[in-house]
Amino acid sequence: MTMDRVEGRLFLGTGNPRISWLAFALTAAALDASAILVAAFVTGPAYYLASFGNTDSLAQHLEWGGTFALVFLVIASARGSYRFRNYVQSKNRFDDLLLTWTITSGIVLALVFLLKAGADYSRGATVVLYFSGLAALFTLRLATARLAEILARSAGFAARKVVLVGRRDDIASHMRRYDLRDVGWSAVGIVELDNVVETAVQMQGTIRQLRPDDVILVVPWSEVSLIETLTDALMETPVAIHIAPGPFLDRYAGMGTAGNAAGLILVRAAFQRTDVITKRIFDIVVASVALLLLLPVLVLTAIAIKLDSRGPVLFRQTRHGFNHQTFRVFKFRSMTVMEDGEAFRQATKNDARITRVGRWIRRTNIDELPQFLNVLLGDMSVVGPRPHPVNLNKAFDGRIAYYARRHIAKPGITGWAQVHGLRGETDTEEKMRARIEYDLYYLRNWSLWLDVKIVLMTVFSPKSYRNAG
User: What is the reported pTM?
Assistant: 0.66
143 pLDDT exceeds 70?
A: yes
Q: Give the bridge partners for 327, in sequence order.
A: 319
How would residue 89 be classed by pLDDT, with cut points 50, 70 and 90? Answer: low
State the average pLDDT over residues 334-358. Answer: 71
Please answer whether residues 371 and 380 qualify as being in contact, where contact means their C-beta atoms are separated by less than 8 angstroms: yes
Q: Kindly state the percentage of the chain with pLDDT values over 70.
A: 80
Enumerate the H helices of 116-167 as residue ranges: 123-152
Domain ranges in the chain? Answer: 6-18+156-269, 21-152, 274-465
Position 131, amino acid:
F
| Structure-derived torsion over alpha carbons of residues 287, 291, 292, 293, reported in degrees to the nearest 10 | 100
6-18+156-269 folds as: Rossmann fold (3.40.50)
155 pLDDT exceeds 70?
A: no
CA-nearest of 242, 367, 355, 251 to 298 is: 367
The least confident of 72-86, 152-166, 214-228 is: 152-166
Predicted local distance difference test score (pLDDT) of residue 334? 85
d(Cα 122, Cα 126) in Å, to the nearest integer?
6
373 pLDDT exceeds 90?
A: yes
CA-nearest of 299, 316, 465, 290 to 372 is: 290
Predicted local distance difference test score (pLDDT) of residue 26? 87
Enclosing H/E stretch for 414: strand 412-414
The least confident of 14-18, 114-118, 354-358 is: 14-18
d(Cα 111, Cα 352) in Å, to the nearest integer?
65
The least confident of 48-52, 128-132, 367-371 is: 48-52
d(Cα 412, Cα 117) in Å, to the nearest integer?
47
23 pLDDT exceeds 50?
A: yes
CA-nearest of 319, 415, 322, 437 to 365 is: 415
Predicted local distance difference test score (pLDDT) of residue 238? 86
**pLDDT digit string (tens) for 377-431?**
999 999 999 988 777 777 777 677 777 788 888 999 999 998 888 876 666 778 8
